[in-house]
Amino acid sequence: MRRAFPLLLALSLALALAFLALPLLAIFLRVSPAELVAQLGDERAREALLVSLKTSLVAHSLILAVGTPAAYLLATRGFRGRGLVVTLLELPLVLPPAVAGLGLLAAFGRSGLLGEELSALGLEIPFTQIAVVLAICFVASPFYIRAGIAAFESIDPALPAAARTLGAAPARVFARVSLPLALGGLGAGSTLAFARGLGEFGATIMFAGSLPGRTQTAPLAIYDVLDEDLEVALALGALLVVVSIAILVGAKLLTSWARSPSPSITLSAPSGSR
C-alpha cells in the first residue's frame, strides 16, 4: 500500500507523457529532416507560411497596442462592472472557434450587423486578409489581456506611488515604471497569444475562407493538402511543432524572468521618473 501510491503517481505521469508526446513524435518519425526541408519548398507550403506570418504579425501588433493599455486600466482601476468586463474579454478563451467565426460573420459579414456601414466605406471584410487578422485578434487577444492584467496587478503598488509623489504624470508612470516592471509577464502572455493566433483554424475558415496565397494560413493548408499530399501536410505540421516549442520555451523563460525580482528594473524606475 505504501509503495502503491507513488507507483500510481508515476504511472499516471508516464501515461500522460506518452499520450501527449506520442502524436508529436509520430509526425517527426514520418518525415525525415531532409524531406521536411524539401517539402517546405512546396509552393502551397511556402504561400501558407507567408500568409500565416504576415497576418499573425499584423494581428499581434494590434493585440499589443490595444491590449496593453486595456489590461493596465483593468489592473489599476476598480469600477462597477469590472468583473463583467473581464469575463466578457475572457469569453473567447472558452468559446468554440466555429462559434467565433459565426459571430464574426454576423457582426462584420456583408449581410452582418455592420455590413452596410462597412460596405459604405468600401470595405468588404470576409474572404480577405483583414478577416484572417480579425479572426486571430478575436481568439488570441484574451490570452494577452489576461496575462497583462495579472502582470500589472503583481507590481508592488509602492513603486508607481513613489513615482507619482515625485511628480510623474500618469502616462509617464505607466511608460517608465509600470510597463518595465510588467514586461516579463506581458512577454509571456504575448508569446502565448501569438501561438494561439498562429494555430487559428475554425474562426478563420468560417470568416475568411481558404484561398491559397491570400487567406489560406498554415493550419488551413495542412487540412487542405492532407488528402492529396500527406508529405506536405506533415512537413508543415512538423514546422509548426518546432515553432510551438520555441514559443513555449520563450514564454517559460519570460515567466521565470518576471517572477525573479530583478534589481536592474527596480532601479530603473526611480531613475526614469527623475
114 scored as a contact of other proteins (CB under 8 A) = no
Phi-psi region of 167 (alpha: psi -120 to 50; beta: other; left: phi over 0): left
Q: Which stretch binds other proteins (CB under 8 A): 92-100, 180-188, 203-211, 258-266?
A: 203-211
User: Cβ of residue 132: shortest distance to other proteins, in angstroms?
Assistant: 12
204 scored as a contact of other proteins (CB under 8 A) = no
Owner of C-alpha cell 496575462: 147
Q: Which one, 188 or 206, has the nearer CB to other proteins?
A: 206
- Of 105, 181, 235, 258, which lies in the binding site for other proteins, with binding defined by CB under 8 A? 105
Count the residues of the shown chain that bind other proteins, applying the rule CB under 8 A.
24
Q: Which stretch binds other proteins (CB under 8 A): 34-42, 63-71, 107-115, 257-265?
A: 107-115
Q: Which stretch binds other proteins (CB under 8 A): 136-144, 183-191, 209-217, 240-248?
A: 209-217
- Of 210, 262, 266, 268, which lies in the binding site for other proteins, with binding defined by CB under 8 A? 210
200 scored as a contact of other proteins (CB under 8 A) = no
129 scored as a contact of other proteins (CB under 8 A) = no
User: Cβ of residue 37: shortest distance to other proteins, in angstroms?
Assistant: 24
- Of 66, 70, 183, 226, which lies in the binding site for other proteins, with binding defined by CB under 8 A? 226
110 scored as a contact of other proteins (CB under 8 A) = yes
Q: What is the 3-state secondary structure (H, E, C) of the chain?
A: CCCHHHHHHHHHHHHHHHHHHHHHHHHHHHCCHHHHHHHHCCHHHHHHHHHHHHHHHHHHHHHHHHHHHHHHHHHHCCCCCHHHHHHHHHHHHHCCHHHHHHHHHHHHCCCCCCHHHHHHCCCCCCCCHHHHHHHHHHHHHHHHHHHHHHHHHCCCCHHHHHHHHCCCCHHHHHHHHHHHHHHHHHHHHHHHHHHHHHCCCHHHHHHCCCCCCCCCCHHHHHHHHCCCCHHHHHHHHHHHHHHHHHHHHHHHHHHHHHHCCCHHHHHHHHHHCC
- Of 16, 29, 50, 99, which lies in the binding site for other proteins, with binding defined by CB under 8 A? 29
103 scored as a contact of other proteins (CB under 8 A) = no
Phi then psi dihedrals of residue 8, to 5 deg: -60, -45
Q: x/- contact string, 228-247, with other proteins (CB under 8 A)?
A: x-x-----------------
Phi-psi region of 213 (alpha: psi -120 to 50; beta: other; left: phi over 0): left
- Of 56, 68, 215, 255, which lies in the binding site for other proteins, with binding defined by CB under 8 A? 215
Residues that bind other proteins (CB under 8 A): 19, 22, 26, 29, 105, 109-111, 126-127, 205, 208-212, 214-215, 223-224, 226-228, 230
